[in-house]
Amino acid sequence: MHDLWIFGYGSLMWRPGFEFAESSRARLDGYHRAFCISSTHHRGTAARPGLVLGLDRGGACEGVAYRIAGADAAAILAYLRQRELVNGVYREARVPVLLRDGTHRHVTALAYIVERCHPSYTGVLPLSVQAHQIRGARGVSGDNLDYLLATVRHLTSSGIRELSLERLVTMSAPHAQRLMRDGHTCVSAAPIRRATAHLPDRALRLRRGDRTRFGYRLRLNGGG
């Protein structure tokens, strides 16, 4: 198998979960990063959904491109499909990205793009709604707020400013934003989640029929 490039724009930037031969800051045109997916697995539950990032149409996205050696590509691709194709809200796509490593190389990378017709796709939500949904949710991968904080920390350390996400941190957890500005790197979301657990839920739940409808990608790709 040939070398495989992977484009990360959310948790794959700061928790890829696989070995790579090369990494570079990268830019993808035609898509932007957005909290547009209701999460009932990784960062929320059916009773208290969270929000996770997706690549949605329009604009541009700065992220990280990883080069995977051909010998490791099949195993890592299987891992990514198990991780990303939990309920079919993402679809795999090969997209052209520009490496921002000074070489100006264009490579074709694998990316996970949001499926707009999926019931978990929320579209464009007001930041106040996003903040409410994020700050009180927790899934099998941890607190939803930790996901937001880790993403913004990584973007900032990479020299990438995304003002909408920084504002979302301020609205979700002003104290956490102050700590991040002071250079703290281990800001915990757990106290904030406990303090806001009583707030009403704006749930977007995936019905059983839809789980069957959109689960076909994982089955086709050998993920279960």
pLDDT at 23: 96
Identified catalytic residue from 84, 92, 162, 166? 84
In a domain, 124, yes or no: yes
pLDDT at 184: 44
Confidence of residue 204 (pLDDT cuts 50, 70, 90): very low
Write the DSSP string, 125-175: --HHHHHHHHHT-EETTEEHHHHHHHHHHHHHHTT---HHHHHHHHHH-HH
Domain count, the chain: 1
Element (H, E) at 59: strand 50-68
Burial class (CB in 10 A: 0-12, 13-18, 19+), 201: middle
Task: Write the CATH number for 131.
Answer: 3.10.490.10
127: domain range?
Answer: 4-213
In a domain, 222, yes or no: no
In a domain, 79, yes or no: yes
Max mean pLDDT range (42-51, 109-118, 166-175): 109-118
pLDDT tens for each residue of 54-92: 999 999 999 999 999 999 999 999 999 999 987 899 999
Spatial contact of 50 and 43, defined as CB atoms under 8 Å apart: yes
Give the three-class secondary structure for 198.
coil
User: Is-catalytic flag, 84?
Assistant: yes
| pTM of the shown model | 0.79
